[in-house]
Amino acid sequence: MSDEEELLGLARESARTAGELLLARAVAGRERVVASKSTPTDMVSEADRAAERAIRELVGGRRPGDGFLGEEGGPEEAGISGLVWVVDPLDGTANFLFGIPQWSVSVAVRDGDGMLAGAVYDPNRDELFRATRTGGPVISCGGETLELQSSRREDLASAMVATGFAYDAGVREAQAEVLSGLIGRVRDVRRFGSAALDLCWTAAGRYDAYFERTVKQWDIAAGALICERAGLDVVELADRPRLPWGILVSAPALTEPLLGLVGPAQP
């Protein structure tokens, strides 16, 4: 087994472990302890923290020399191996808290050259998306494993596009302006709330493209790798007035016209 496959195996196990913990909490009822982070709409629950603890314990027990960067755990922790685990223990916290079944667990590992392996688990549908730097992207569901087939759409007018919105109200207003110029140029737009799942659903061809500003490393680490391995363009969106850095993932033929509407790209 290659090092990539071993790392992917641990990413898969960690994502499933945290996902099963979260699903059990979701079935049991709403979280009682909820706090805000950057804004009142940027929520964190005890479920987020419990899921991250479970991943830390699993990864740390198997690979104590690796670094760790988790959404809920503060600054990146340096290791001695040259590898860092990048984890979003509950991507889509607001959905989770409101009982909306669109949230996920994202676990990736990187070295000095970028992402080596990543897994995103959707407990509500029992779908596990995964890829390595050199391996093809796949989805496992119901005991079956299939290669992901991303969109090859060439016509922007028939494209289904996904997006997300920032926590900051001023940034959301600017995003609404961008959306007003986009929505009449595409088939339709979807906004569900989990960036990691949006990326994976784009890799699976459920969307033709996805873009979002203000995403963090842990939101996109695994999903962006899965999209790259699925043959999609993954482009960084440069800062522009009132719109922070972001990411665009799309079928190759749609990248340039979409950048004209939601860009610009990072130079």
**189: domain range?**
156-262
Q: Is the pLDDT of residue 31 over 80?
A: no
Question: Within 10 A of 220 (CB to CB), how many other CB atoms are there?
Answer: 28
Beta bridge partners of 234: 249
Domain-located, residue 267: no
pTM for the model stands at 0.93
Q: What is the CATH number of the domain that holds 71?
A: 3.30.540.10
Domain count, the chain: 2
Q: What is the CATH number of the domain that holds 221?
A: 3.40.190.80
In tens, the pLDDT along 231-261 reads: 999 999 999 999 999 999 999 999 999 999 9
Buried (b) or exposed (e) across 56-71, using 16+ Cβ within 10 A? bebbeeebeebbbbbb
Element (H, E) at 171: helix 169-182
In tens, the pLDDT along 113-154 reads: 999 999 999 999 999 999 999 999 999 998 899 999 999 999
How far is the C-alpha of 120 from the C-alpha of 206, rounded, in Å?
A: 16
30 and 55 in a single domain? The answer is yes
Q: What is the pLDDT of residue 42?
A: 47
Percent share of the chain, pLDDT over 90: 84
In tens, the pLDDT along 195-235 reads: 999 999 999 999 999 999 999 999 999 999 999 999 999 99
| Residue 214 CB contacts under 8 Å (≥ 6 apart), including other chains | 166, 167, 168, 171, 244, 245, 246
Q: Around 257, how many Cα atoms within 13 Å sit in the side-chain half-sphere? A: 18
Domain boundary among 147, 167, 187: 147
